[in-house]
Structure 1
């Protein structure tokens, strides 16, 4: 799209995207929201070349408190101007994602690109008056070879009337900084999270990992994912991590939706329970909505993973992998009848293979409808109702002492299941300092009245201290 016609098409797309954002911001304010969060690449999509990145990216001021809804910025930085004016017009905080283009300075000369510009994947936050509260440069681009990695860690914390907020973007959620680090330091109440996430089952579907991340770090999370189900991108949510509550939108159609919910300002507050009172609204679209798209997702690479088929006629299964041991106690309420439904216990302690390696330990019970061989489940979990149900399942895992554990339970049709009275999660303190033991329970051994259809039960551990250094590399997939 280097032709004049191509550039005009892109300008039209940007304008249509901004108009949808303006409709959503207005709708959020009508529903008494304090903040609206938009997805990664929601404005600038598919730029492809460095030339296009520099053409459509904008210089975002480095000073906090700058008023950007003014005539001065309307022509100089039109995207940032429109976002600032959305905030000012609706008297609402606005968080969005765009590209920040900065000139190279003398202090960065050794790392300055040949075009003398840095271009960063950037999250921005505006206050109710259209002032720039904060900007954050994505520390861990997923490929995105036309963009730059910031030269230093960016640990953004901003005080607002709705608590202490921070920003991270998409692939940052895999790593310790900024979010996990800031949460562990007790520096933030809520993480604002624009993302374009590609679902990988059974552990890293967007809504699943958002929920697990918020629960594991015990903070609020506002996650806004781009909605392109044909490439496996769906699932946004509002999560009260300290209270174990959440609400998600994860439809498989092509419609855009706005999720509105209430959150406690302090996520670990001991005050009275704060109901989410979540409501979902459709956002009017300005282009035809396709009706024949199909949700596609990836399944995990099982390299260095132990796989055990679970015998549903028994009640116990156990498996170990390089010091990580997982035990499963279970009772089947209703075995499958017309359809063969196999379940497997997956266990690993590994550095994950691929362009971006990281260290993970996990215990996972997963339904696998298409097992080509013991090491190759070609389709993890089911997108249809399950006929096999359990009275209870108790999964326990022994992990490294420095692993951070993220729990999740997925039902049939890829539905993320709430904790409430369905499942519980705790650390067993009896193991000493050499290991951590965590227990996730679904249902109750003492009650066989309820049956639970689950496709995935997981204890996903991240050992950030053993991660290889991050290095930006091509992914071979879709990039900005």
Structure 2
């Protein structure tokens, strides 16, 4: 009797497993079937796009040429995609874009209601611009969801604050389904010097569900550094898959593109589809598909200028993270020699230099004042110094431990609160050199090997604070997830969390190793004396 029950149980398990597998196939590829089983995988593509560089195009010509690039890239992908994401602002990049009137010729109306009707069909809403209809047809032809970033125009009903032409303009992500029908949109909330578009009164909470069983949330570029709407999507709506079009401009030592994307995905254990505009002369580039704590599935920067699609399968069993290969790190790092980087101002950081031939550090550095704003960082470091390399006459980086609790200006556009503990590579002995990079990678040698790093700090538990594991190699890529530990513990009866960031695999090409904390309580608009124009830079 027991044997019979066991056999029945085994058969039932097999049946359920086979049904679950078949259910996933039906739900993914057929709109005519309904299935409630959770889908285990989907195929995503993110595109790093180098926009058209011709200076004297009309708005229609520029939009259509970049749209043709989008479609050409999509058509070259030889996998059946479930979703593809294109970057921020590249449909109209390189156009004069300073004020409302500059942007209006590039703007298109977007539906406010989901009709389920393909924009590609003759029954579609032809109020949308021709380029958007072409993208809808491309989504339909490739049987994929498609995300593009556009300038949206919407009729203004506020008589006091309307532009003379009666339109509000928004930096908007648009989602089209496999049939080319409008599914969702998101209007960027945290604008970065984008005086030609409007800011919504409150952040959009943009969520859409796909036919392959995944709910996505969306935000854009500069949004990633703020609480709203990004963290609200996680905390209030339990979203775990995100779409992130961006025109990011990399800043050393903490906010290069892949470094920023990776720290956010790892901290929130989120699937993150990031698509970046490409322009190495302005420091723009960096795209990837990240699977939370498992790290990037595919990512990269087109360092010499160009377009590239990254395609990966997001699944319940992602591949293990790769190891560290110094030869590959050096090869990739050399390719970044002509890539432009912004530099953070570190002048107010507390710091201490790591001196040659001292092999062990157990130090504490503190920054800030008062119970709520003081941060103390504990460093435990083990180092090997190679005297032969140290004296070889080449350039080599010095290292500093740093701590900072305070407020920074994001390029004069906005002020943000920071709580940071870090080890940084510096081109000289001054703290200001720790946000720079030697110009010729072939002239650099590496006498320092970090065998162990442990950075530990206590942070007040506050919904307006968040901490991230932040790292960077000389290749301008973050450390792989299997080379680090990111741990935390709570204290009984105290509103405190201790974060501990550990290097567990020896490394000799280190640029940044940090706990990067944001304190949204201290955010605010900058003083007028810090304001400066960055032209068409979007973050």
TM superposition score normalised by structure 2: 0.77
- From 67, 71, 74, the equivalent of 1:22 is 71
Pair 1:262–1:276, CA change in 2 (3 A): farther
Question: How big is the shift at 1:293?
Answer: 9.2
Pair 1:292–1:427, CA change in 2 (3 A): closer
Question: How big is the shift at 1:245?
Answer: 4.3
Query: Is residue 514 of structure 2 the alignment partner of residue 458 of structure 1?
Result: yes
Q: Provide the residue aligned with 1:400 in structure 2.
A: 460
Task: Provide the C-alpha distance between the structure 1 equivalents of 2:485 and 2:439, rounded to a whole number of angstroms.
Answer: 23
Cα offsets for 1:94-132 (capped at 9, x unmatched): 011001001112xx3343233321000110111101011
Unaligned 5+ segments in structure 2 are 1-53, 323-334, 369-373
Please state whether the residue corresponding to 1:79 is helix, strand or coil.
helix
Please state whether the residue corresponding to 1:113 is helix, strand or coil.
coil
- From 147, 151, 166, the equivalent of 1:95 is 147
Please state whether the residue corresponding to 1:135 is helix, strand or coil.
strand
Pair 1:464–1:451, CA change in 2 (3 A): closer
Task: Provide the C-alpha distance between the structure 1 equivalents of 2:65 and 2:240, rounded to a whole number of angstroms.
Answer: 33
Please state whether the residue corresponding to 1:152 is helix, strand or coil.
coil
Alignment of 1:69-468 (within 5 A): 69-71=120-122, 73=125, 76-105=128-157, 108-160=158-210, 161-264=212-315, 273-275=317-319, 294-312=338-356, 313-316=358-361, 317-322=363-368, 323-335=374-386, 336-337=389-390, 338=392, 339-353=395-409, 354-371=412-429, 373-375=430-432, 377=434, 379=436, 384=441, 387=446, 388-402=448-462, 403-420=465-482, 422-430=483-491, 433-443=494-504, 450-468=506-524
Q: Once structures 1 and 2 are overlaid, which stretch shifts more, 50-59 or 117-126?
A: 50-59
Cα offsets for 1:202-225 (capped at 9, x unmatched): 111110010101111221110001
Question: How big is the shift at 1:407?
Answer: 0.5
Task: Provide the C-alpha distance between the structure 1 equivalents of 2:126 and 2:517, rounded to a whole number of angstroms.
Answer: 46
Q: Could you tell me whether the CA contact under 8 Å between 1:50 and 1:146 is conserved in 2?
A: yes
Pair 1:361–1:135, CA change in 2 (3 A): same
Task: Provide the C-alpha distance between the structure 2 equivalents of 1:176 and 1:231, rounded to a whole number of angstroms.
Answer: 27
Pair 1:305–1:471, CA change in 2 (3 A): closer
Please state whether the residue corresponding to 2:238 is helix, strand or coil.
coil
Question: How big is the shift at 1:344?
Answer: 0.9
Task: Provide the C-alpha distance between the structure 2 equivalents of 1:416 and 1:277, rounded to a whole number of angstroms.
Answer: 12
Pair 1:293–1:304, CA change in 2 (3 A): closer
Question: How big is the shift at 1:137?
Answer: 0.6
Task: Provide the C-alpha distance between the structure 1 equivalents of 2:517 and 2:377, rounded to a whole number of angstroms.
Answer: 12
Unaligned 5+ segments in structure 1 are 265-271, 279-290, 445-449
Cα offsets for 1:424-477 (capped at 9, x unmatched): 110133486243221111126xxxxx5543111011011224422699996411
Q: Could you tell me whether the CA contact under 8 Å between 1:179 and 1:191 is conserved in 2?
A: no
Pair 1:188–1:247, CA change in 2 (3 A): same
Q: Could you tell me whether the CA contact under 8 Å between 1:333 and 1:390 is conserved in 2?
A: yes
Question: How big is the shift at 1:187?
Answer: 2.7
Cα offsets for 1:17-57 (capped at 9, x unmatched): 111100222234x2222111101011111342422311121
Cα RMSD after superposing both structures:
2.9
Question: How big is the shift at 1:319?
Answer: 0.7
Q: Could you tell me whether the CA contact under 8 Å between 1:411 and 1:456 is conserved in 2?
A: yes
Per chain length, whose mean CA-contact separation is higher, i.e. which structure has more relative contact order (CA < 8 Å, sep 6+)? 2
Please state whether the residue corresponding to 1:410 is helix, strand or coil.
strand
Task: Provide the C-alpha distance between the structure 2 equivalents of 1:155 and 1:471, rounded to a whole number of angstroms.
Answer: 29
Aligned length: 447
Q: Could you tell me whether the CA contact under 8 Å between 1:163 and 1:189 is conserved in 2?
A: no
Q: Could you tell me whether the CA contact under 8 Å between 1:125 and 1:135 is conserved in 2?
A: yes
Q: Once structures 1 and 2 are overlaid, which stretch shifts more, 123-132 or 388-397?
A: 388-397
Cα offsets for 1:398-427 (capped at 9, x unmatched): 22322311102222232222112x111101
